[in-house]
A = this chain, B = another copy of it.
Amino acid sequence: MYFDNAATTIKKPQELKDKYMEIFENSNYGNQSRGGHNKSVNAMMAVYETKKALSKLFNTKPEDIAFADNCSFASNFVIKSLVNENDHVITSTTEHNSILRPLYQSKAELSFVDFNENLELEYDKLESLVKENTRFLVINHASNLLANVNDLNRLHDFSKKHNLIMITDIAQTAGNTPIDVSKYDNSIFLFTGHKSLYGPTGTGGIIKNGDFDFKPVFSGGSGIKSFLKTHPAEFPTVFEIGTSNFMSQIAFKGSIDFILNTGVENINKKIKELTKRFYDGIKDNENIKIYSKEPKGDYSSIVSINIEDVPSSDVSNILDEEFDIQTRPGAHCAPLIHKHFKTEEQGIVRFSFSYSNEISEIDEAVSILNELTKKA
């Protein structure tokens, strides 16, 4: 039973496989370029079709999407392109290292908002963090451990009031939680393809709402303006360097079509059912400590636990080796959450569910956990 979907989904839609087969069988996609031969144009158009599908999913425009290898690349590109040493950035203790480390690296001044005992952001404290040089609000849509889903409307109202650029990591919510990018002007969303978008690795990127003064970060072949010494600053070329992963980007459309056909609302409903059933199944077990949000209102498909003071990697190993249950132990690249809980040493065992999991799997895992902790 695979419950490590927050790391990567492992069961991909048939539509994705079909797209890959088409790419290989037909040999019809050349290297994209601005107006080359028909096989180049095929690739360019097919990549555009994927951006069109994504723009339908997120209610945005294809030209506001740049592809990147994964969410970390998207984050590095955007932060290195926009955030300067003299800026002040408000972020949160729930961020992933893919956000935290580029922010540290930028040498900007950082202020952190923490989360409360209900595992919700301390929205009330945001106002007190604003300084004269505050330029960015960098807070994820959902952490990769807490099962919280942050209130984008509230965060955006705050950003707008203080004229900040809102940068939002949607790695954990894209595809399984409705997101309407058009509602959030002056904002940038960072996504990855291989998690809840059920796509291939090597896909992901940047969705912008607004005009930003992007500086090139990496530089290389651009297909346009080849005689310029600097990489073109036009979006999306500014971030799409060299031959992009166009095969996976083309195939990725199969995944987005699957989501659009299934309906994000339906996906959201199912993952919430699975998550709540798991949570409810273990919440009264005194030997299990739960670190993730009670499944009420909005929440993501994660339940984070420890069994007494057993190292999380031991628990994960036993579950994997004895019961064929895959979970993720350790730090999950979220160091400040572990500092909050004082679980730096023990780590946390994360269960994360996807649309392809079934209620019967949840029930089996719950009974295994309850049985296991009885023995402990």
List residues of A whose CB falls within 8 A of some B CB: 2, 4, 7-8, 10-12, 16-17, 20-21, 24, 27-31, 33, 35-40, 69-73, 75-76, 80, 96-98, 100-102, 104-105, 192, 194, 200-202, 216, 218-223, 226-227, 229-231, 241-248, 313, 316-317, 319-321, 326-335, 338, 344
Q: A20-B20, A31-B4 in contact; A227/B76 too (CB < 8 A)?
A: no
Q: Give chain B nearest CB distance to A281 CB in angstroms.
A: 21
Contact of A220 among B76, B221, B229 (CB under 8 A): B76
Is the pair A241, B10 in contact by a Cβ cutoff of 8 Å?
no
Q: Which of A230, A317, A330 has the most CB of B within 10 A?
A: A330
Q: A37-B316, A202-B202 in contact; A24/B30 too (CB < 8 A)?
A: no
Cα A202 to Cα B202 in complex, Å, equals: 6
Q: A101-B229, A221-B97 in contact; A202/B247 too (CB < 8 A)?
A: yes
B residues near A31, Cβ cutoff 8 Å: 4, 7-8, 194
B residues near A73, Cβ cutoff 8 Å: 69, 218, 220, 241-242
B residues near A192, Cβ cutoff 8 Å: 242-243
Q: A39-B2, A218-B102, A229-B101 in contact; A241/B72 too (CB < 8 A)?
A: yes
Is the pair A4, B247 in contact by a Cβ cutoff of 8 Å?
no
Is the pair A4, B98 in contact by a Cβ cutoff of 8 Å?
no
Cα A197 to Cα B293 in complex, Å, equals: 48
Is the pair B39, A10 in contact by a Cβ cutoff of 8 Å?
yes
Is the pair B218, A72 in contact by a Cβ cutoff of 8 Å?
yes
- What are 29 A-B contacts with C-beta separation under 8 Å? A4-B31, A7-B30, A7-B31, A8-B31, A10-B30, A17-B24, A36-B328, A36-B329, A37-B317, A37-B319, A38-B321, A39-B326, A69-B242, A71-B242, A72-B218, A72-B242, A73-B218, A76-B241, A97-B226, A98-B220, A101-B220, A101-B230, A101-B231, A201-B248, A202-B202, A227-B335, A227-B344, A245-B248, A248-B248
Cα A21 to Cα B97 in complex, Å, equals: 32
Measured CB to CB, the nearest residue on chain B to A12 is B24
Is the pair B333, A221 in contact by a Cβ cutoff of 8 Å?
yes
Q: Give chain B nearest CB distance to A341 CB in angstroms.
A: 13
Contact of A70 among B80, B194, B242 (CB under 8 A): B242
Cα A4 to Cα B329 in complex, Å, equals: 47
Q: Secondary structure at chain A's binding surface: helix, strand, loop or mixed?
A: loop
Is the pair A98, B201 in contact by a Cβ cutoff of 8 Å?
no
Is the pair A4, B30 in contact by a Cβ cutoff of 8 Å?
yes
Q: Give chain B nearest CB distance to A253 CB in angstroms.
A: 15
Q: Give chain B nearest CB distance to A218 CB in angstroms.
A: 4
Contact of A27 among B11, B100, B222, B332 (CB under 8 A): B11
B residues near A326, Cβ cutoff 8 Å: 30, 37-40
Cα A248 to Cα B69 in complex, Å, equals: 12
Q: Give chain B nearest CB distance to A171 CB in angstroms.
A: 9
B residues near A320, Cβ cutoff 8 Å: 37-38
Contacts A69-B245, A97-B222 aside, 5 further interface pairs with beta carbons under 8 A come to A31-B194, A75-B220, A97-B226, A98-B221, A227-B331
Is the pair B69, A69 in contact by a Cβ cutoff of 8 Å?
yes
Is the pair A201, B244 in contact by a Cβ cutoff of 8 Å?
yes
Q: A24-B16, A245-B69 in contact; A37/B4 too (CB < 8 A)?
A: yes
Is the pair B39, A243 in contact by a Cβ cutoff of 8 Å?
no
Q: A11-B27, A226-B333, A230-B101 in contact; A245/B245 too (CB < 8 A)?
A: yes
Is the pair A331, B24 in contact by a Cβ cutoff of 8 Å?
no
Is the pair A98, B242 in contact by a Cβ cutoff of 8 Å?
yes
